[in-house]
Amino acid sequence: MIVQGRQAAGGRLEFGCDVVVAGSGASGAIAALELTQAGLDVVVLEEGPYYSPEEKREFAVSEALFKLYRNQGATFTMGTGGSPSISLTLGWGAGGSSVLTGGVCYRVPDNVVENWVEGLGLKELAPDMMAPFYERIEKMLHVAPTPKELWGKGNQKVAEGCEKMGYEVKTINRNMTAECRGCGRCNFVCPHGAKQSVDIAVLPKVVDLGARLFCDARAKTLLMENGRASGISGVFLDGSKKPKAEFTVRAKAVVLAMGAVHTPTFMLKNGVGNGSGRLGRGMTIHPGFRTYGVFEERLDAHMAALQPIYVDKYMPEITFNAIYIPEAFMMATLPGIGAKNRKYAEQRPHIAAFGCMVHDGPNGRIVPTMGPEPLMLYNMQTEEKNLAVRGLKMLAEVFFAAGAKKVLSAFHGLEEFDNMDQINAVDPERIKANQIECAAFHPLGTARMGTDPRDSVVDVWGRVHDAKGLYVIDGSVFPTALSVNSQLPIMTMALRLAEHVHQEDAHLFKPEKPAKDRRNPLLTFKSLAMSKNKELDKIFDAGIKPDPKDIAGWEFNGWNTPYFTKLVGIQKFKKGFYEVPDRPGEVMGYNRPMRINSIDHPYQAKPNEHKAKPFGWYTVRPVDPHSRDNKYPHALLLNYGVKKNGPAPPRVLRDYLVQVDPHNPDLLLGKAYLALGPLRFFSNYFILERNNRAFYDPKQDPKGHKV
């Protein structure tokens, strides 16, 4: 079940489950899948909104930036000690940052893991012990080498330069299906659905298995009972990120998967997990920068997979990855302003790009604020700055070896180079860190894993040292930087840790559970009545066709949403449905007037229950695609153009009716139109909720079924 918090009517809602997972990104989705497959009742909390994969494929690049990036892409670390402020990509919504990755899937290099195992004593993370988990994730996500035909001419040029310089070019493994067309838009949602981000490859399975995914749900308070985590409370947000309702999810275990920025923020605000003083400290972000080569021939480098190749000659210190962002953003990174920038922008079909990332130390820190976003401090060290300069020189060598006429760098004040002599003249000692235009995508290490509670936040199984029943399973737990893109390692670690959660606390989870109520708890009569038309549009479009036989014989409480209906005395009403005698399967309906009072007051017939005569009769039929009233094929059509209404105004009404929740046949949403000749005009929405058996009995009215 997918629940959108913006549909909440207000007040406080309470839920119960075995495990609550905070976060629906790379780690949270995988953990939820593992736990639901183990038979546990799982609630997943996602602070951001829900957009279906089909909706996201239609997003323009700018729309994806606005809707799917946290803070519309304006998230950054604050540089200290002369460091640059570094853009940090974080996702916003179901699927988290996995929706925005380039699809790159590396395993953690053995030399990095060796340090964990031998230097830090984390023997359970040895490559042979992690391999089965890697294999399961790689199979799930269709991880495979990028086909050479998707490299594109720009990357082919880079490969030629690498060959001349003696660097081996390797193909990047990516979580893509055969539908990948190499359009280079991975960071802004794959328009072809080829990238197997968790919103496509994992979350649908989680929901199908019975987990509840609550979107627009901001976790605020960790619930504790007798020293054990017992749930999370927070607020549901409306479409403008303002609190709309409160919620509490009570659970037998709590799993934090909000990422290396917001997991420590949540823990610090709740005063848990910081016995070592390391919580929120030691953040690594894997800072990177891009370098461009300008060539004589036309390359159209954007016509390629975003990241198909890499060079690992100097890993873990330096990793070189292909990268070519959409041209609308790429042009803003070209040198100069005005005429100079335009000159380079016009040369973009002749530009190839490659990126460099440096293996950083624990330079960052998370500092909670009064708001939902923390302050992220980061101090790039001299060693890392020098690695960046070294990376620039190496990429320049590659581009010039491949025949570039000019190299453009991300170093302010040193943007343009015509030859290697100019490059070699760059003195790393004279370069300041804040001259480098950096971006980062892989925050890690803010709740580091360790064997000693005095120097770590969680143990090797993700258990928080000083709180029972509380687990951290996201990128926060990695003890050092990875030197590679973090998507696959995070998912693999999450799978390993989630497997342990249901084994560790198996005694708490009863194997036999009562049947779940799968109705959406936020789609209620009152929440729909309080929703705006824009929200109701989406709900109506996602509805399904009610079964006429299921509603026949019942009356539904009705509520017209526009305020003017209250003024004219028709906001509250009842709709009844009945099967026409001697015509099996044919259903008709009627309205009954009700007294106008608040939505919370009981429905009272007007003038009284016995004299509230039915009026406004209509037929109830599936929409005929060949008729004039065929706007919504997924709805029932209530057609008031029947003889029983005589010449009365109701004859111009045409109502479309849908069931808004596939698991709740008692709640319906209607969309009313006025039929004026061949024209149809939208009037208003109305909500129906099953209440009582039908007031009207057609057998007592021989003319009642005449149409």
Q: Which helix (H) or strand (E) holds 568?
A: none
Strand order in the sheet with 12-16: 12-16, 243-250, 228-237, 217-225
What type of residue sits at position 343?
K
Residue 147's φ and ψ, nearest 5 degrees, are -60, 145
Long-range Cβ contacts of 233-241 (<8 Å, 24+ apart) = 234/45, 236/5, 236/6, 236/8, 236/13, 236/522, 237/5, 237/6, 237/47, 238/5, 238/6, 239/6, 239/49, 239/535
CB-hemisphere CA count at 13 Å for 36? Answer: 24
Closest CA to 136 of 54, 37, 18: 37
Closest CA to 147 of 306, 321, 308: 308
Q: Which residues contact 490 (CB under 8 A, 6 or more apart)?
A: 26, 27, 474, 475
Specify whether the CB–CB gap between 183 and 102 falls below 8 A.
no
The pair of structure tokens assigned to 536 is 């109701």
Closest CA to 42 of 54, 53, 30, 52: 30
pLDDT digits over 536-576, tens only? 998 999 999 999 999 999 999 999 999 888 998 899 999 99
Specify whether the CB–CB gap between 475 and 485 falls below 8 A.
no
Closest CA to 257 of 208, 203, 193, 210: 203
The pair of structure tokens assigned to 401 is 């070896």
Residue 116's φ and ψ, nearest 5 degrees, are -65, -45
Q: What is the DSSP string of 277-313?
A: S-TTEEEB---EEEEEEE-SS---TTSS-SS-EEE-T
Q: 695: exposed, middle or buried (C-beta count within 10 Å: 0-12, 13-18, 19+)?
A: middle
Q: Which residues contact 67 (CB under 8 A, 6 or more apart)?
A: 49, 51, 59, 92, 93
In 141-284, where does DSSP find H-type helix? 152-165, 198-201, 203-208, 259-269
DSSP state of 433: G
Closest CA to 288 of 429, 384, 148, 149: 384
Strands 439-440 and 86-88: parallel
23: left (phi over 0), alpha (psi -120 to 50) or beta: left
Mean pLDDT by 10 residues, the chain (707 residues): 88 93 98 96 97 94 95 95 94 96 95 95 96 97 96 96 96 94 92 95 96 97 96 95 94 97 98 96 96 96 94 92 88 90 93 95 96 96 94 95 96 93 92 93 97 96 95 97 96 97 80 70 90 91 94 95 90 94 88 92 87 87 94 96 78 94 95 93 96 81 52
Torsion sign over Cα 453, 459, 462, 468: negative
Domain spans in the chain, listed from the N-terminal domain onward:
1-142+185-286+438-508, 145-176+288-359+381-435, 525-700
Whole-number Cα distances in Å, 313 to 155, 162, 168, 310, 401: 17, 11, 7, 10, 17
DSSP state of 625: T
The pair of structure tokens assigned to 19 is 């495990």
The pair of structure tokens assigned to 159 is 């490969």
- How far apart, in whole angstroms, are the C-alpha atoms of residue 551 and residue 27? 43
- How far apart, in whole angstroms, are the C-alpha atoms of residue 124 and residue 135? 17
Strand partners, 449: 458
**CATH architecture of the domain with residue range 145-176+288-359+381-435:** 2-Layer Sandwich (3.30)
- How far apart, in whole angstroms, are the C-alpha atoms of residue 547 and residue 658? 10
Specify whether the CB–CB gap between 8 and 527 falls below 8 A.
yes
pLDDT digits over 510-531, tens only? 665 656 778 888 899 999 998 8
Q: 20: exposed, middle or buried (C-beta count within 10 Å: 0-12, 13-18, 19+)?
A: buried
DSSP state of 225: E
- How far apart, in whole angstroms, are the C-alpha atoms of residue 615 and residue 575? 10
| 1-142+185-286+438-508 fold | FAD/NAD(P)-binding domain (3.50.50)
Distance of CA 581 to the CA centre of its chain: 51
- How far apart, in whole angstroms, are the C-alpha atoms of residue 121 and residue 1? 41
Whole-number Cα distances in Å, 128 to 113, 124, 474, 499, 628: 11, 9, 21, 17, 66
Strand partners, 558: 573, 688
String of b and e for 419-429 (b: at least 16 CB within 10 Å)? Answer: eeeebeebeee
Domain 525-700 has CATH 2.40.128: yes
Strands 364-367 and 281-283: antiparallel
Closest CA to 599 of 554, 555, 563: 563
Closest CA to 574 of 536, 603, 546, 553: 603
Strands 375-378 and 76-79: parallel
**Residue 100: predicted pLDDT:** 95
Site of tokens 């720009």:
154
**Residue 283: predicted pLDDT:** 98
Strand partners, 321: 310, 355
The answer to whether the bond into 443 is cis (omega within 30° of 0) is no
- How far apart, in whole angstroms, are the C-alpha atoms of residue 682 and residue 584? 32
